[in-house]
Amino acid sequence: MKVGILGATGYTGQELLRILNNHPEVEVVYIGSSTSAGKKIAEIYPHLTDTSLLILENEEVPDVDLLFIALPHGIAASRAEELLARGIKIIDLGADFRLRQADVYEEWYKLKHPNPTIIKDAVYGLPELYRQEIKDKNIIANPGCYPTASLLSLVPLLKAGFIKKEGIVIDGKSGVSGAGRGMNQAVHFSEVNENFKAYGVGEHRHTPEIEQQLGLAAGSSVIINFTPHLVPMTRGILVTIYADIKGEISDQELRNCWQDYYAGEPFIHLLPEGIWPQTKYCYGSNHAFLQLKYEPRTGKAVLVGVIDNLVKGASGQAIQNMNLLFGLPETTGLETTGLWP
């Protein structure tokens, strides 16, 4: 397959290159950047020595089988029709196709949607939930990082009716790379090091994305409390979720629900009882780790999930989606385990 990456100099763009470098069925023939055209990618990311012959080009996309768009919201939707007309499949790592309603997108992203009519042509690219739908689509909306960790934890239990849709609280923590590569005082070393803070309280843009998918799982509207936090580390997301249980239930019944739902899933790992997920378990890999505990005293289940925000939360998941689109085993190019320590 001949693939291109638009926005190759961002963290998700370079992560796509790193992983695709080991993909046996892919040739990266185009990497685009509006600010670095003419440079070798290895001048910006010297660790990408095997791709040093690749020269960054402008945003004039050549004919490719698939284009990854790793750019801020508002760009993918404005270019999608022209790309699709040329037979190019799109995996958008931004937010333009994640929300089904343009007015919700405009409310949360403070931007008029460039092409509302095309939203219906996209599928939400979380393979563990929408594998069959992904195979037949030309536009994939790659999920956000917080939503990926949250939905993997919650959807099976919500679909099974084990937890109430009211009162769900998601406490998320992310490494600094989630903020991207751009200059931002809030993520300078001296601001982040030896510090820990909440941000986007009550207004984080991933909130409607999580609510939309939970509502589809529950069959009706779901409102959540979601608070993200910035952790002084580079990679990783950990979500701790509190959900009220319906009726009498045991830890094992909840675990059985997860086990049944994720049976055979290559990237989802349910940890043995008493072992709680750590971000290092999935560092640099496309794997997710889950654990839970029911607290009869409070009537709540505590769910914990971890992913690497740049891999399963972005570029690795995009490649998993690409594999589905082209009929390849989902694990192709993604067999790497997490780095430890």
The residues assigned a catalytic role are 145
Residue 279 has phi, psi (to 5 degrees) of -65, -25
Instruction: List the beta bridge partners of residue 243.
Output: 301
Residues 6+ apart with CB under 8 A from 51: 17, 21, 28, 41, 42
Best CA proximity match to 71, nearest among 45, 109, 42, 32: 32
* Measured distance CA(149)–CA(153) in Å, rounded: 6
Do you find a cis peptide bond into 341, omega within 30 degrees of 0? yes
Q: How far is CA 89 from the centre of its chain?
A: 19
C-alpha torsion angle, residues 103, 229, 233, 47 (rounded to 10): 0
Best CA proximity match to 335, nearest among 313, 320, 314, 325: 320
58 neighbors 6 (Cβ within 8 angstroms): no
Per-residue CA distances from 109 to 145, 221, 227 (Å): 16, 20, 17
* Measured distance CA(77)–CA(328) in Å, rounded: 27
SS3 31: strand
